[in-house]
Amino acid sequence: MLNIYNQTLSKCPDNPKERNGSWMKDRTCTEAGGGVHQICYRDIGKNANKFSVHTGQSDWSTQRGNENHCVCLGAWSLYKKKLDEGIIETDHSRSRLKCDAIPVSVFSPKYVGKFSKWNGNEKKGQIVNGIEGIVTECDTPSIDAGQRDSLYRNYCSFAKSVPQLRETPLYIEKCVK
């Protein structure tokens, strides 16, 4: 399995003693069905502002403290949309995602609907916030040029088949040549 940088996918937990955070038996965020838990959120109880509450769930995320968690594509998109619109107070964290633990499969056309919907709690256009949130939060100074190129190549390849993404400034800047 490869991550969004086309490198070996890391496990989501940082500590082998972490309680299960919706990851698979091999401790990766590679769920292909159901909620598609493929976004590794770092220290979710510490970094997120009540992630689960703001996505229409019980307050399980606060209880996780500084443990990582594989969150659903739709829940991530909804949370990111609410952050971007100022509906919820941001935590100002630029390290909320463990990017090397996010599989490249998040950029699969079969998951477009998973980013767009979340248990009836979705907001219009949240796919843009979810997908581009991954890209912008994972384009950090700590990655090298090869990782950055792979990240944008994966994003652009995916985004060209998603009308909502083809109209964004990020797509135009990074993908239109």
- 66-108, pLDDT tens digit by residue? 899 999 999 999 999 999 999 988 766 667 899 999 999 999 9
- Enclosing domain of residue 60: 37-175
**Residue 11 domain flag:** no
The pLDDT, as a whole number, for residue 115 is: 82
User: Rounded to whole angstroms, what are the CA distances from 150 to 38, 89, 145?
Assistant: 18, 32, 9
Average pLDDT over residues 55-66: 90
The CA distance from 9 to 63, in Å, is 26
Q: Which residues contact 3 (CB under 8 A, 6 or more apart)?
A: 9, 10, 99, 100, 101, 102, 103, 104
Question: What is residue 95's predicted lDDT score, i.e. its pLDDT?
Answer: 75
Look at 158 and 89; give whichever has higher pLDDT: 158
Confirm whether 10 is domain-assigned: no
Q: What is the pTM of this model?
A: 0.94
Say how many domains are in the chain.
1
The per-residue pLDDT for range 141-154, each reduced to its tens digit, is 999 999 999 999 99
pLDDT for 37 equals 94
Question: Which of 18-22, 104-108, 138-142, 169-173 has the least mean pLDDT?
Answer: 18-22
Cα–Cα dist 116/133, whole Å: 14
The confidence score (pLDDT) of residue 16 equals: 86
Q: Is residue 4 one of the residues assigned to a domain?
A: no
**Has residue 8 been placed in a domain?**
no
Which residues of the chain form beta strands (DSSP E)?
Answer: 37-41, 69-72
So what's the pLDDT on residue 22?
93
Cβ atoms 54, 82 nearer than 8 A: yes
Q: What is the pLDDT of residue 143?
A: 96
Mean pLDDT, all residues of the chain: 91
Cβ(36)–Cβ(23) under 8 Å?
Answer: no
Evaluate whether residue 98 is within a structural domain. Answer: yes
